[in-house]
Structure 1
Amino acid sequence: MKSVLICDDEPVIRQGLKAMLKDLGFDDIYESMDGNAAVTTALDKIPDIIIMDVSMPKKDGITAATEIRKKLKVPVIFLTACHDPEVVQRAVKVGIAAFLTKPVRADELWPAIELAFAHNDEVENLKEQVNDLKETIESRKVIEKAKGLLMKNHSLSEPEAFRKMQKLAMDKRKTLKQIAEAILLTE
């Protein structure tokens, strides 16, 4: 079951998209006609993808997409009537997956949706990898500090201090980082 949120202030555009999306197999199609409603509906319904006009009343599409993407990792495709380099730059910063020019043609919609899903998955995987690397670096820093403290306080060589920490970690069934943090608190 696939779901989509269509956000456009023009009912004709929403109806046309809705028909095309049904043909593409989307079961749940939610609609909103302004940026505020788009944010509320997205956070309430959690659609698989969002297709949103850039220019909408109450809150423009970029602002709405920014608010949505802070809480949901859902791909967003922008609809636009004209190409403005500034809008494109703002959209890139938000992580918008694709642009479609109005009026949307059915033969352009499916590839844009597929690319949006692929782009979103790739970006989210990269973010996870970055977070994992940051955590690894932080763990390394703590371990190195604790190792240095053991070397200084117990006159151990670097390999001896590291082996001592490894042995404690195995004996206590803790991670090396947990042992290092404990050493920093007690030494």
Structure 2
Amino acid sequence: MTTALRILVVEPDENRLREIVDALTDVGWTDVRALPEISSIARTVQDYEPDIVLIDLANPDRDTLENITHASGAGKRAVALFVDQTDDALTSAALKAGVSAYVVDGLDRNRIKSVLETAIARFKVIRQIQSELDAAKRALEDRKTIDRAKGFLMRQRSLSEEEAYRLLRKTAMDQGRRVIDVAQALVTAADLLS
């Protein structure tokens, strides 16, 4: 793991906060910002732009989870949440709020590095999966648009499906555009004419 991580630590207890920051520094992470109040996390995250947010709270409530949603920045960064006790509803809510690592029984100084590395790795996997899902959705939408454009050409010019696609592809190459862009323009024009 790189030592260039920007870490934001949220801990209301000053002594515990100092202990966590020291533990992070001891394992080589020096770009650490401490935050004693979770209520100001949104502004701090915006100003500091951390790579990971470490939150150590005894018993988080619904307001805390809302603040955690701000901390994760809609999936822009990893969030590790350490709690003393939990229940199924809290666990589920924390994961929906964007928590990458959810650790019960509080923060152990000796495990801090491995937990944060795991949170970062899990965050990267989830982000990759989301990126692949988004790409698949875009590809499906593009395919639907191309199929609509082919259908329009087939009806208007009495072409086969293969001929319609070849015409789309040739037009795209002649204009230096992507097939999806030509298909989208054709679908838009066809919608205007109908």
Fold match, TM over 0.5? yes
- Deviation, structure 1 residue 70: 3.4
CA distance in 2, matches of 1:48, 1:85: 27
CA change 1:101–1:13 in 2 (3 A) is farther
Question: Structure 1 residues 57 and 83 mapped into 2: Cα distance closer, same or farther (>3 Å)?
Answer: closer
> Cα 1:184–1:72, aligned 2, differ >3 Å: closer, same or farther?
closer
Q: Report the alpha carbon displacement of residue 71 of structure 1 after superposing the two structures with TM.
A: 4.6
Alignment partners' CA distance in 2, 1:30 and 1:61: 19
Q: Could you tell me which residue of structure 1 aligns to residue 14 of structure 2? A: 11
The aligned residue for residue 140 of structure 1 is: 143
| Counterparts in 2 of 1:22 and 1:60: CA distance versus 1, 3 Å | farther
Partner of 1:78: 81
In the TM superposition, what is the alpha-carbon distance from 1:59 to its structure 2 partner? 7.8
Is 2:24 aligned against 1:21?
yes
Displacement after TM superposition at 1:69 (Å): 2.1
Matched, 1:95 2:98: yes
The 8 Å contact of residues 147 and 161 in structure 1, kept in 2 or not, is answered as yes
Query: Tell me, what secondary structure is at the counterpart of 1:156?
Result: coil
* 5+ residue gaps, structure 1: none
Match of 1:166 in 2: 169
Residue pair 2:59, 2:84 contacting (<8 A) in 1 also: no
Match of 1:39 in 2: 42
CA distance in 1, matches of 2:60, 2:151: 59
Q: What is the total number of aligned residue pairs between the two structures?
A: 187
Compute the displacement of 1:93 (Å).
1.3
Query: In the alignment, is the contact (CA less than 8 A) between 2:72 and 2:99 conserved in 1?
Result: no
- Counterpart of 1:144 in structure 2: which amino acid? D
**Contact 1:4-1:30 within 8 A present in 2 as well:** yes
Distance 2:62 2:35 in 1: 12
Moved more, 140-149 or 90-99: 90-99
Give the letter for the 1:123 counterpart. I
- Paired with 2:16 and 2:103, the residues of 1 have a C-alpha distance of 12
Distance 1:126 1:173 in 2: 32
C-alpha spacing 1:108/1:95, structure 2 compared with 1 (3 Å): same
What amino acid maps onto 1:36 in structure 2?
Answer: S
User: Cα gap change, 1:57/1:140 in structure 2, threshold over 3 Å: closer, same or farther?
Assistant: closer
Pair 1:108-2:111 in alignment: yes
Task: Give TM-score, length-normalised by structure 1.
Answer: 0.91
> Which of 61, 71, 74 is 1:68 aligned to?
71
Secondary structure at 2:50's aligned position in 1? coil
Q: Please state how far the C-alpha of 1:2 moved relative to its aligned partner.
A: 2.2
Separation in 2, partners of 1:103, 1:136: 43
TM-score by length of 2: 0.88
RMSD, aligned α-carbons: 2.1
Structure 2 stretches lacking a partner, 5+ long: none
